[in-house]
Amino acid sequence: MIYPCPKPPKKEKKGKLQRRNKSDGQEVEICISPEEWEARREEVGTAAGFMCQAPRCDTVAPLHDIEVEREEGVMPYIIRAGQAAHRTPRRMGGGSRDDKRGNLLWLCWVCHHMETIGRLVIR
C-alpha cells in the first residue's frame, strides 16, 4: 500500500534580485518579486525623465496611468503609463531575462507595443 506523504512547504520568494551567470559567462539580474520589478521600473522611468526614449517620440510616459478630467459632459481621457522595455528581448537573449538597469529603457505604451510586434527597432 502506498501512503501519501505531505508536500514540503513552499519557499517564499524574497524581494532580492537574483544574479545568475549565462552560459557565455555574463552576469544577469532578474527581479523575482513584483515589488522589486516596480522599483526597477520607477528607477528606469526617473532616469528617462518619464519621457519615451524611442527615436522621434517625445511622448510623456508617467509611472502610472493618469486620468485627466475635462469639462462636464465630456469623457475624461487617460494618459497611459510608460513601460520598462528590455533592450535585448528574451526572444533575442537566449531565453533568459536580464533586468539590469543598462538593459532597460523607458517607452510609451504605443512604442512598446510597436517594438513588441517588431514594427519598431530600438538599438
The H or E element containing residue 36 is helix 34-47
Kindly provide the b/e burial profile for residues 27-56, where b requires at least 16 CB atoms within 10 angstroms of the residue's own CB: ebbebeeeebeeebbeebbeebebbbbbee
Q: In this predicted structure, what is the pLDDT of residue 46?
A: 95
Q: In this predicted structure, what is the pLDDT of residue 1?
A: 44
User: In the chain, where are the structural domains located?
Assistant: 17-116
Q: Is the dihedral of CA 57, 60, 62, 68 positive or negative?
A: negative
Is the pTM higher than 0.85? The answer reads: no
Beta bridge partners of 20: 28
Q: In this predicted structure, what is the pLDDT of residue 101?
A: 86
Mean pLDDT by 10-residue block, N- to C-terminus, for the chain (123 residues)? 50 56 70 88 95 94 91 88 85 66 92 91 80
Kindly report the backbone phi and psi dihedral angles of residue 41, in degrees, each rounded to the nearest multiple of 5, phi listed first. Answer: -60, -45
